[in-house]
């Protein structure tokens, strides 16, 4: 993908810019959100830039989506109490700002959230 169209997550994956990485394998990276909305707020990101949102990922590589979910579960146990909210924003009006599919893993004291 060209520099002009690459997202900030590709620059994190390629280590062009730093992030607080908590997990990485050959297909997925996870790091702390720079603007946390919960005591634990991680982003679980497939390394491929092929999919802009969760529906595209589900259609194109369901096994990778399952791996994203399993990684979220594992990280919520390692970094919090194992209970979490998994959020995929899809589309600008739904709050998506980075068009490279990613799961938000939110855990700890979510009772104040408007969605609770």
Query: Which residue numbers are catalytic?
Result: 102
Closer by beta carbon to ligand AMP, 62 or else 95 = 95
* Minimum distance of ligand AMP from residue 1's CB (angstroms): 17
DSSP E strand stretches across 1-116? 21-24, 28-32, 40-46, 85-87, 103-107
Q: Which of 35, 63, 115, 116 binds ligand AMP (CB under 6 A)?
A: 35
Q: With contacts defined by CB under 6 A, name the span among 27-35, 50-58, 59-67, 70-78 that binds ligand AMP.
A: 27-35
86 contacts 104 by C-beta, under 8 angstroms: yes
Residue 89 CB contacts under 8 Å (≥ 6 apart), including other chains: 95, 96, 97, 104
Closer by beta carbon to ligand AMP, 80 or else 100 = 100
Its sign, for the CA torsion 41, 47, 52, 53, is negative
* Minimum distance of ligand AMP from residue 110's CB (angstroms): 15
Contacts with ligand AMP in 38-97 (CB under 6 A)? 43, 89, 95-97
**What are the backbone angles phi and psi of residue 90, rounded to the nearest 5°?**
-130, 105
* DSSP letters spanning 19-42: --EEEE-SSEEEEE-SS-SSSEEE
* Minimum distance of ligand AMP from residue 33's CB (angstroms): 5
| Site residues for ligand AMP per CB under 6 A | 8, 19, 31, 33-35, 43, 89, 95-98
């Amino acid at each position: 993908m060209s520099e002009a169209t690459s997202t900030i997550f590709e620059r994190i994956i390629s280590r062009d810019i730093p992030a607080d990485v908590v997990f990485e394998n050959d297909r997925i990276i996870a790091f702390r959100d720079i603007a946390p909305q919960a005591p634990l707020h991680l982003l679980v990101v497939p390394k491929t830039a092929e999919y802009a949102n969760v529906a595209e990922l589900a259609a194109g590589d369901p096994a990778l989506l399952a791996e994203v979910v399993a990684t979220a579960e594992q990280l919520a146990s390692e970094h919090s109490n194992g209970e979490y909210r998994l959020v995929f924003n899809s589309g600008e009006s739904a709050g998506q700002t980075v068009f490279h599919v990613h799961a938000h893993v939110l855990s700890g004291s979510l009772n104040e959230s408007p969605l609770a």
